[in-house]
Structure 1
Amino acid sequence: MRTAYRVETVRAAEADLMARLPEGALMQRAAAGLAAACCSLLGRGRVYGARVVLLVGSGDNGGDALYAGARLARRGAGVSAVLLGTRAHEGGLAALRAAGGRVIGGSDDPYEVLAAADLVLDGITGIGGRGGLRPDAVPLARAARGSGAVVVAVDLPSGVDADTGEVRGEALRADATVTFGAYKPGLLVDPAREYAGAVRLVGIGLDLPSVPDLEALQHQDVARLLPRPGAESDKYRRGVVGVVAGSARYPGAAVLAVSGALRGGAGAVRYVGPAGDAVIAAHPETLVHAGPPEKAGRVQAWVVGPGLGDGPGAGTAVAEVLGSGVPVLVDADGLRRLDPAAVRARTAPTLLTPHAGEAAALLGVPRASVEAGRLAAVRELAERFGATVLLKGSTTLVCGPDAEPVRVNPTGTSWLATAGSGDVLSGLAGSLLASGLRPLDAASCAAYLHGLAARHATGPGAPLTATDVAAALPAAWRDATAP
């Protein structure tokens, strides 16, 4: 499990450790890891003679950059420091000068130095920075980004919010970020994640709490959570998922939701709705019923909403499913008809799976505000509805109604922004619910497998369809559970 912690928690752990170490020892640990990462990024044998520019702010990140620059200078790199602000870390400056580095000033042109750089270290602001870059730093940041040099952020790209992942103003986009002690939420959540590039964690010995603020599943976590049939299993013991989806206008949504459900670990799928002929033609193993849901037979979980449309029967179907005593996943058209009080009154769990536009409608805010503050939005939705919420998007987030860490999915790809992809995800997550997984785990594992399936479907960097994603789910399952 990859974990992330808020700035307040990281700083408390740093303060506790610094009290037990000689003065400056913690910064030296960070600088050593930062310098090693820079050597790796420059490539073996290319450090000697490399042109390195440090963009140095007045905080500890500037000190980390200066000490790392001194280490690179001792290995033969030509290191120049551009100071922003009225002060810089005195010990770091002295170490850089002693190692043969120089500080740009007087008649030196920082833009000329940046234009010739092989690597730029961004030490402008630290994890406490808010509100984007200051105006005087913006031209230098743009010059660094336009230089063709490898840009390495120190702990966090300058201008992004470490705790929320928000970018309120201009920020310096890095090719790589070297972060110290712990991941910060902003390194895992868009839009800030897009500025971080490849993220490398350098351990510095922090003693962090056992419960993080954010977590991201990895293969071994998914393998541990996914259901496996036992020797005594039959299709009913493995769970039956009911899918209420599709309409005369959108029969494909029903087919795609059932496609995901059939590959999600449940023993059987009951489809309820008007698209039964299309479902049977695509998936003859499906149990089909015209409806209503309460007459379709017993299920262990319901999926409702994909492709229901806005006809009068859609609201009735959603209300009927929500009135059941089993876990319910609500997606797409089903989300238009949600009453927070009705959802909170349910005795069984509820999982909501909106995209940013649907989340904005549920919260009564512009879509742009959800996209800019995804972490805040998913937390508010979970609290308002008393439900687990999977917020789809560039980084899919899953938040439960209780005080558990928010989960961020690491496997997504922008190629999943295609028609019907969310229907497959809903069926998959609903199937995992019917198999007995709690909503947080079902949603997290579904998002993980969904993203992994997209990568398996066509390889990196190629268009795909929702049908491709569904067909690749078995390969993704095998990948995640391989010994």
Structure 2
Amino acid sequence: MLGVWSPERVREAERRLFRTVAEPVVMRRAANGVALSVRGLLTERLGRVSGRRVALLVGAGNNGGDALWAGALLRDRGVGVTAVLLSPGKAHAEGLRALRAAGGRVVEAGDSELTADAVEALRRADVVVDGIVGLAAQGPLRPLAAAAVEQVAAPVVAVDLPSGVDPVTGAVEGPAVSAAVTVTFGGRKPCHVLGAGPARSGRLDVIDIGLGPHLAEPGCSVMETHEVGHAWPVPRAEDDKYSQGVLGVAAGSATFPGAAVLTVGGAVRTASGMVRYAGPAADVVRQRWPEVVATGSVGDAGRVQAWSVGPGIGTGAAGREVLAAVLDSSKPVVADADAITLFAGDETLWDARDPDVPLVLTPHEGEFARLVGQRPVDRVAAVREVARRCSAVVLLKGNTTVIADPDGRVLVHPCGHAWPATAGSGDVLTGMIGKLIATGMEPSPACARAAHVHARAAELAATGGAAESREPGEAAPVGAPIGASALLEAVPDAVREVRAVASSVS
């Protein structure tokens, strides 16, 4: 797992570190990491470091100091470095002295408008270092900084975070930096995994500056690809169709038979074993998925290890009856779509569940708002609170999926793209999560693994399989909009990929 720490916890760790290591020493460690990333980017893009030009966008505070010290180190490698000071009277004094002593150039950005020297330095740069603001900042870039960023055509290496991205939520509410590489220290921060943060951060280089022993438990964690692949269920030599888990699916209706087809398909494509369907779309399900045992009602479905319920069942009396029957089965339940709306509108349904039986809620933001009365601002805090209050695992969908346990543990999956944002893709995810739980997997990691593969399947489908890793600043592969059916068909390829990654690191 990759830990994610809040700015407050990072500052606490820094204070503890400074009791044993002088702050200037720590700053030089950070600056060295920034300089290494800049050198790597110059080599990747232009083939060499010496003789290239780097501009530093320097604000007040330690991030600007890191940029200045990095500039001094780059001068030692023959790089032409110009620091553009956005707050000349507040720039880090020791960093400025070090840059000037190394032969770096310093210009002022200006007052209400950029100076000609600042514009020239930014336009001629081969790489720009963003040292404008740090983890204490809030809100978009101020006008002068925004004007400076507009002059940048070269790739950006951001110090700790892309300036203008909210450190806690990853939100971008105005002008902000888009980095090719973000160099952060000690561990990931929320802005690197939430909201627009992952896309704005580019590649993330995490530099060890000695914070590790001083960091408390992370506020949330990211499951790595090899962890997804290692635990993905595949048939063992002694398995049969029952031992690999039987999922019941209660989804769809005469009006929305596609919801049943997609939810069932998500389960079938995820793992071997067996899927039972219960509902009015049984004939349509049999036609599309002949391997599925389809019946007309939950009571006739037979024995299952878990249920996926909700997509397309409706929010009237018939839908409520379906949800109540599933809850009465005393099996783990993954509730999505109409089931969440029913929970939000009928408090008696909460009483129908056995509180000792796992419940997973998988809302999008609109459904989440029905549960709590408003859309989340701080997604991690909001999902953690709802999970505690509902005594359920809650998965909030989005370009970063947030998953919280009732005990407060949080997993996130930063998708970095929006290819799954298409009608019916949530139905596929509901079937995937349910099938993993039916195999015996715990609900929270089942949600994280399903979300990872679901997002990867969407990317593979959209790009025709061309969405491989790429160098910083390299254009993303060209994709085309997809429907949920295309995502569903790509799930096996995504499973093969995560399992191959797991095999390569085992």
TM-score (normalizing by structure 2) = 0.88
Which residue identity lines up with residue 16 of structure 2 in the other structure? D
Aligned-pair CA distance for 1:258 = 0.6
Does 2:422 align with 1:415? no
1:49 matched to which residue of 2? Answer: 51
8 A contact 1:308–1:333 mirrored in 2 = yes
Q: Which deviates further from its counterpart, 160-169 or 241-250?
A: 160-169
Of 238, 241, 247 in structure 1, the residue corresponding to residue 247 of structure 2 is 241
1:113 matched to which residue of 2? Answer: 121
Of 215, 222, 229 in structure 1, the residue corresponding to residue 228 of structure 2 is 222
Q: Residues 41 and 118 from structure 1, CA distance in 2 versus in 1: closer, same or farther, beyond 3 angstroms?
A: same
CA distance in 2, matches of 1:32, 1:42: 15
Of 268, 275, 281 in structure 1, the residue corresponding to residue 281 of structure 2 is 275
Gaps of at least 5 residues in structure 1 are: none
CA distance in 2, matches of 1:79, 1:343: 63
Aligned-pair CA distance for 1:379 = 2.3
Of 429, 435, 447 in structure 2, the residue corresponding to residue 431 of structure 1 is 435
Gaps of at least 5 residues in structure 2 are: 468-478
8 A contact 2:187–2:206 mirrored in 1 = yes
Alignment of 1:129-278 (within 5 A): 129-133=137-141, 135=142, 138-206=143-211, 207-209=213-215, 211-265=217-271, 267-278=273-284
1:34 matched to which residue of 2? Answer: 34
Aligned-pair CA distance for 1:334 = 1.3
Of 93, 116, 123 in structure 1, the residue corresponding to residue 131 of structure 2 is 123
8 A contact 1:9–1:208 mirrored in 2 = no
Of 86, 92, 107 in structure 1, the residue corresponding to residue 95 of structure 2 is 92
Q: Which deviates further from its counterpart, 149-158 or 471-480?
A: 471-480
CA distance in 2, matches of 1:412, 1:204: 27
CA distance in 2, matches of 1:412, 1:289: 39
CA distance in 2, matches of 1:90, 1:100: 16
CA distance in 2, matches of 1:433, 1:211: 27
CA distance in 2, matches of 1:260, 1:234: 20
Aligned-pair CA distance for 1:266 = 5.3
8 A contact 1:306–1:334 mirrored in 2 = yes
Q: Residues 387 and 48 from structure 1, CA distance in 2 versus in 1: closer, same or farther, beyond 3 angstroms?
A: same
CA distance in 1, matches of 2:248, 2:416: 26
CA distance in 2, matches of 1:129, 1:455: 33
Which residue identity lines up with residue 52 of structure 1 in the other structure? V
8 A contact 1:241–1:301 mirrored in 2 = yes
Aligned-pair CA distance for 1:412 = 5.9
Which residue identity lines up with residue 372 of structure 2 in the other structure? L
Which residue identity lines up with residue 235 of structure 2 in the other structure? P
Aligned-pair CA distance for 1:108 = 5.8
8 A contact 1:142–1:172 mirrored in 2 = no
1:444 matched to which residue of 2? Answer: 448
SS at match of 2:419: helix
Does 2:333 align with 1:331? no
Which residue identity lines up with residue 348 of structure 1 in the other structure? V
Q: Residues 342 and 290 from structure 1, CA distance in 2 versus in 1: closer, same or farther, beyond 3 angstroms?
A: closer
8 A contact 1:412–1:448 mirrored in 2 = no
Aligned-pair CA distance for 1:311 = 4.0
SS at match of 1:10: helix
CA distance in 1, matches of 2:132, 2:267: 48
1:463 matched to which residue of 2? Answer: 481
Deviation per residue, 1:174-204 (Å, 9 max, x gap): 2321111111011111133332122221222
Q: Which deviates further from its counterpart, 257-266 or 182-191?
A: 257-266
SS at match of 2:90: coil
2:386 matched to which residue of 1? Answer: 381
CA distance in 2, matches of 1:22, 1:147: 35
1:474 matched to which residue of 2? Answer: 492
CA distance in 2, matches of 1:166, 1:455: 23
Which residue identity lines up with residue 33 of structure 1 in the other structure? G
CA distance in 1, matches of 2:310, 2:416: 23
SS at match of 2:161: coil
Of 342, 347, 357 in structure 1, the residue corresponding to residue 356 of structure 2 is 347
Aligned-pair CA distance for 1:208 = 4.8
8 A contact 1:79–1:102 mirrored in 2 = yes
SS at match of 2:265: helix
Which residue identity lines up with residue 379 of structure 1 in the other structure? R
How many residue pairs are counted as aligned between the two chains? 474
CA distance in 2, matches of 1:145, 1:173: 11
CA distance in 2, matches of 1:45, 1:268: 54
Deviation per residue, 1:106-152 (Å, 9 max, x gap): 8764233323322221111111212333x3xx333343244312122
Does 2:2 align with 1:2? yes
CA distance in 2, matches of 1:403, 1:341: 25
Which residue identity lines up with residue 236 of structure 1 in the other structure? Y
Identity across the alignment (%): 48
Q: Residues 379 and 31 from structure 1, CA distance in 2 versus in 1: closer, same or farther, beyond 3 angstroms?
A: same
Aligned-pair CA distance for 1:439 = 0.9
SS at match of 2:167: coil
8 A contact 2:404–2:444 mirrored in 1 = yes
8 A contact 1:382–1:400 mirrored in 2 = yes
Which residue identity lines up with residue 244 of structure 2 in the other structure? R
SS at match of 2:140: coil
Aligned-pair CA distance for 1:349 = 0.8
CA distance in 2, matches of 1:67, 1:282: 62
1:285 matched to which residue of 2? Answer: 291
Q: Residues 322 and 481 from structure 1, CA distance in 2 versus in 1: closer, same or farther, beyond 3 angstroms?
A: same
TM-score (normalizing by structure 1) = 0.92
8 A contact 1:74–1:99 mirrored in 2 = yes
SS at match of 2:162: coil
SS at match of 2:176: coil
8 A contact 1:73–1:79 mirrored in 2 = yes
